[in-house]
Amino acid sequence: MEGPRWNTQRSRQKMRTLRKLYELLSQVVASRYGESLQAGALVRAHYLRWTLNPLLQRTTGTAFDAGCGRGAYVARLLAGQFPAWRFLGLDLRLSVPSNHPSNLSLCVGDLQQLPMSGPFDVIYSTDVLEHLENPRALLAEFARASKKGGALLLHVPSHEERHYLPGVDREHSWLGQPGPGDAHLWHGFKREELEQWIVGAGFDLIWSRHTFGAAVSVLKELFMLGEAHRVPGIGLALFPFLTMATWLEWRLGRGRCGNGLLILAQRG
């Protein structure tokens, strides 16, 4: 009886060790690349950093993360990477460690309810406009709060959203109940219409492109299905493939179609 019992104990010990190792690796990857191993968040963090890094390397200034998320993960990453810049993050809810970079200030507030401070050299916002009743009013406020020549970077879902794997559009139970501000009031935006809104607000369009193309979207949906069915380690297992697919899309793709839109503009 001692043999099987000993083997069971060793198996449990191995599982505990593997679980701790997975948690450690997950924390390291998340702290390096974004808020978590959640596929959509990782991809958006890549898009943001690859676009903003060249802008932030050229000079110093003040950047505003409009709708930074509860953990302000991207703002914290950028503030740590660019200590000469000042960052401001705002969201409806915040839960951030007290040891965040000293050049990052965080505020709880509603983007629809307040005039922004400023002026800012860079304003960036990720998947926020679709949660607002009047996104054009926020674009006008962005223009008012931007310095002349300041940059605006927006990511939003596209109205052309397409699902590739069967059942993925129904597998959202793992996300739980939406919190304040989480509901989608707009089910994506048309590229040409959003460009017109941005130009009408007072910005000059630099470029726009679709994101979350077929390969990236399939990997994202694999993650969603894995999370829905509680597949252990799905985020860490897909991470290298998702990062490579995103990088190839960014470097080689033309951004003609996809489930997201990324737009860079400059205050006129």
Q: Are residues 68 and 12 in the same domain?
A: no
Domains contained in the chain, number: 2
Q: Are residues 27 and 55 in the same domain?
A: no
According to DSSP, residue 187 is labeled S
Tens-digit pLDDT profile for residues 6-57: 567 777 776 677 667 666 666 666 666 655 667 888 899 899 989 999 999 9
According to DSSP, residue 158 is labeled B
Q: Are residues 117 and 231 in the same domain?
A: yes
Q: Are residues 3 and 111 in the same domain?
A: no
Tens-digit pLDDT profile for residues 234-267: 877 888 899 999 999 998 877 788 999 999 999 9
In 3-state terms, the chain is what percent helix, strand and coil (to 5)?
45, 20, 35
Q: Are residues 124 and 6 in the same domain?
A: no
pLDDT at 47: 92
Q: Are residues 28 and 42 in the same domain?
A: no
Q: Are residues 154 and 234 in the same domain?
A: yes
Region 160-187: mean pLDDT is: 70
Please tell me which residue, 92 or 27, carries the higher pLDDT value.
92
CATH of the domain at 69: 3.40.50.150
Q: Check residue 247 and give left, alpha or beta (phi > 0: left; psi -120 to 50: alpha).
A: alpha
Under 8 Å between Cβ of 165 and 142: no
Q: Are residues 129 and 216 in the same domain?
A: yes
Under 8 Å between Cβ of 49 and 74: yes
Instruction: Single out the residue of 102, 16, 30, 22 nearest to residue 69, CA to CA.
Output: 30
Under 8 Å between Cβ of 133 and 66: no
Position 174 confidence tier, pLDDT thresholds 50, 70, 90: very low
Q: Are residues 9 and 81 in the same domain?
A: no
Domain that holds residue 241: 35-267
pLDDT at 2: 52
Q: Are residues 24 and 64 in the same domain?
A: no
Tens-digit pLDDT profile for residues 103-123: 999 999 888 876 777 899 999
Query: What are all long-range contacts of 32-40, with beta carbons under 8 Å and residues at least 24 apart?
Result: 33/243, 34/73, 34/74, 34/77, 35/69, 35/71, 35/73, 35/74, 36/73, 36/235, 37/235, 37/236, 37/239, 38/223, 38/227, 38/235, 39/219, 39/220, 39/223, 39/224, 39/235, 39/238, 39/242, 40/220
Region 179-207: mean pLDDT is: 90
pTM: 0.86
* 99 phi, psi to nearest 5 deg: -95, 30
Q: Are residues 83 and 157 in the same domain?
A: yes
pLDDT at 173: 47
Position 181 confidence tier, pLDDT thresholds 50, 70, 90: low
Q: Are residues 13 and 127 in the same domain?
A: no
